[in-house]
């Protein structure tokens, strides 16, 4: 009796928190979706899970933080100055951080490809070796930052460098400027990526390699170059995601990539690994389910994770190749 009443009360609570938790879910989902793109693109061309994608995310997160430090914003806040509120200064700071974050993401992803994977490809290494190299690269980067990074293993938290302001309400739920920046920013990046993959010549090259690498070579596609570009693009997305995540949660640590990476990888599998649209759909769904889950079953974030993974298992039971199934190969984008 008490149990069911308790359950009912939680459910009533869930309904009353539905829109706020939906907004949180969209924000999380936008970040997951961008990171998931990196997993899915690389899987498409190499049939490899690039575990170091999460560390690309982590490096970029540190990159945007360091940029804010270099701009002296924390000192300004410490000496009683205002956080940046609006106007061109905010736009400038955000644009600069995004640029740094994206560049670090792209560059580190390219380095990972060059150092951890290309030498193996040139030696025709077995698949398992690639996997081990992927895990090794992931650990090496995160441990290096843990040992020698700016805050070692401690959390690198930043006083909010800009002021969150409520912009408007949706169905009674507050929508903050940070929410809008994250969702709109992610949407623009995802759209740019979808257009690049589906419309550009190089995007066609990426799809050709994913669908049939040997025939792509016969068409004159430089497969090594396409692989490098694929890592670059995946890294740009992870970099952008890291910056957006920092706006939502201004905190970074040497292992921040891990939890995000697991979610994003899950999102990619949920949507159908290798499938660009699947990664976007999977990311958004996972963010929403996680947020709704923790709202429904209590505020503990772990409950949200449980809900997300239970959903993954259920979906894979019914559709083993994910929601949109087909790989980058078979689908049109």
- Using DSSP's 3-state secondary structure scheme, residue 166 falls into strand
Q: Taking contact as CB under 8 A, which single stretch among the options 3-11, 218-226, 248-256, 304-312 is the one that binds another protein? A: 218-226
Contact 105, 242 (CB under 8 A): yes
Q: What is the pairing mode between strands 251-252 and 173-176? A: unpaired
Closer residue to another protein (CB): 143 or 326:
326
Residue 205 lies near another protein (rule: CB under 8 A): yes
Residue 329 lies near another protein (rule: CB under 8 A): yes
Q: What is the pairing mode between strands 173-176 and 156-157? A: unpaired
Closer residue to another protein (CB): 195 or 219:
219
Count of residues touching another protein (by CB under 8 A): 23
* Neighbouring-strand partners of residue 302: none
Residue closest to 312 by CA, chosen among 8, 15, 36, 56: 36
Q: Taking contact as CB under 8 A, which single stretch among the options 134-142, 165-173, 204-212, 247-255 is the one that binds another protein? A: 204-212
Minimum distance of another protein from residue 110's CB (angstroms): 20
**Between 87-112 and 53-70, two packed helices, what is the crossing angle to 10 degrees?**
140
Minimum distance of another protein from residue 208's CB (angstroms): 6
Minimum distance of another protein from residue 274's CB (angstroms): 11
Q: What is the pairing mode between strands 166-170 and 156-157? A: unpaired
Q: Taking contact as CB under 8 A, which single stretch among the options 15-23, 66-74, 212-220, 264-272 is the one that binds another protein? A: 212-220
Q: Taking contact as CB under 8 A, which single stretch among the options 16-24, 93-101, 151-159, 211-219 is the one that binds another protein? A: 211-219
Gap between the Cα atoms of 266 and 308, Å rounded: 9
Closer residue to another protein (CB): 120 or 175:
120
Give me 5's structure tokens.
Answer: 């009443």
Helices (H), the chain: 2-16, 18-46, 53-70, 73-78, 87-112, 118-122, 127-148, 177-199, 201-211, 213-218, 223-248, 256-271, 276-296, 301-318
Range 222-251, binding another protein (CB under 8 A): 222-223
Write each residue from 183 to 202 as x if it is in contact with another protein (CB under 8 A), else as -, in one continuous string. ------------------x-
Minimum distance of another protein from residue 326's CB (angstroms): 8
Minimum distance of another protein from residue 216's CB (angstroms): 8
DSSP state of 169: E
Q: Taking contact as CB under 8 A, which single stretch among the options 83-91, 166-174, 213-221, 237-245 is the one that binds another protein? A: 213-221
Residue 267: how many CB atoms within 10 A of its CB?
33
Closer residue to another protein (CB): 89 or 212:
212
Interface contacts to another protein, rule CB under 8 A: 201, 204-205, 207-208, 211-212, 214-223, 326, 328-332
């Amino acid at each position: 009796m008490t149990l069911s009443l308790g359950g009912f009360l939680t459910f009533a609570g869930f309904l009353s928190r539905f829109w706020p938790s939906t907004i949180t879910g969209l924000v999380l989902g936008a970040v997951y979706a961008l990171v998931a793109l990196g997993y899915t693109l690389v899987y498409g061309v190499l049939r490899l899970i690039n575990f170091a994608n999460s560390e690309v995310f982590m490096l970029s997160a540190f990159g945007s933080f360091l940029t804010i430090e270099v701009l002296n914003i924390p000192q300004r806040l410490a000496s009683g100055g205002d956080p940046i509120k609006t106007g061109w200064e905010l736009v400038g700071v955000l644009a600069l951080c995004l640029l740094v974050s994206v560049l670090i993401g792209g560059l580190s992803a390219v380095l990972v490809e060059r150092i951890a994977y290309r030498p193996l490809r040139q030696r025709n290494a077995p698949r398992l070796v690639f996997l081990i190299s992927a895990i090794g690269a992931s650990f090496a980067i995160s441990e290096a930052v843990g040992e020698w990074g700016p805050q070692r293993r401690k959390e690198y938290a930043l006083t909010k460098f800009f002021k969150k302001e409520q912009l408007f309400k949706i169905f009674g739920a507050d929508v903050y400027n940070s929410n809008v920046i994250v969702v709109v920013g992610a949407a623009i990046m995802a759209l740019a990526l979808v257009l690049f993959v589906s419309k550009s010549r190089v995007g066609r090259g990426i799809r050709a390699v994913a669908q049939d690498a040997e025939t792509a070579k016969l068409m004159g596609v430089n497969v090594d170059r396409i692989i490098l570009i694929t890592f670059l693009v995946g890294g740009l997305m992870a970099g952008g995601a890291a910056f957006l995540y920092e706006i939502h949660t201004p905190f970074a640590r040497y292992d921040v990539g891990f939890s995000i990476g697991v979610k994003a990888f899950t999102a990619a599998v949920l949507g159908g690994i290798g499938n660009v649209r699947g990664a976007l759909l999977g990311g958004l769904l996972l963010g929403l389910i996680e947020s709704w889950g923790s709202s429904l079953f209590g505020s503990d974030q772990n409950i949200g994770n449980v809900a997300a993974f239970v959903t993954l298992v259920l979906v894979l039971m019914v559709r083993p190749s994910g929601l949109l199934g087909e790989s980058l190969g078979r689908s049109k984008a």
